[in-house]
């Protein structure tokens, strides 16, 4: 059964996200992907992978992912966040980070840790 990977990227990280996802397209294709609206559309339109699209982060998409984590429906999260910009939905962002910690769900917040995360999960699937 495919692992479920949630994908989120802040606006200032979208270019980095597309480059990362394109480089890792083959590996990402082995996962069931779920993402907030704008990130999901980039995955579909720019990277060419199927992905379940949720609401945008500010509209509640971060909270939707948080709820899925709590329900055990997400195996890992890649959240390329912009720590240098304030976000009006900061409490929602912090909630995602918190539920990952509380429910022991792997979380990557930059391209390097995201690469390690998906490679590790992919390795588990192929063993």
- DSSP secondary structure of 63-77: HHHHHHHHTT--SEE
Instruction: Name the residue range of residue 27's domain.
Output: 4-126
Cβ–Cβ < 8 Å for 28, 5: yes
**C-alpha to C-alpha distance for 65 and 55, rounded to whole angstroms:** 10
Average pLDDT over residues 54-74: 96
Look at the block and give the residue holding tokens 């995602």.
Answer: 96
CATH code, domain with 18: 3.40.50.1380
Mean pLDDT confidence for 62-86: 94
pLDDT digits (tens, 9 = 90+) for 8-48: 999 999 999 999 999 999 999 999 999 999 999 999 999 99
The active-site residue out of 11, 16, 45, 62 is 62
62 given a catalytic annotation: yes
Q: Give the pLDDT score at 86.
A: 81
Q: What is the pLDDT of residue 45?
A: 98
Count of structural domains, the chain = 1
């Amino acid at each position: 059964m495919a692992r479920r990977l949630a994908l989120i990227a802040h606006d200032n990280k979208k270019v980095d996200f597309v480059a990362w996802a394109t480089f890792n397209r083959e590996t990402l294709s082995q996962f069931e992907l779920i993402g907030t609206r704008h990130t999901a559309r980039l995955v579909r339109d720019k990277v060419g992978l199927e992905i379940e699209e949720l609401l945008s982060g500010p509209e509640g998409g971060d909270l939707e992912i948080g709820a899925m984590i709590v329900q055990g429906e997400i195996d890992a999260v890649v959240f390329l966040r912009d720590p240098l910009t304030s976000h009006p939905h900061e409490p929602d962002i912090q909630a995602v980070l918190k539920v990952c910690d509380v429910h022991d769900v792997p979380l990557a917040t930059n391209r390097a840790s995201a690469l390690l995360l998906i490679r590790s999960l992919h390795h588990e699937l192929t063993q």
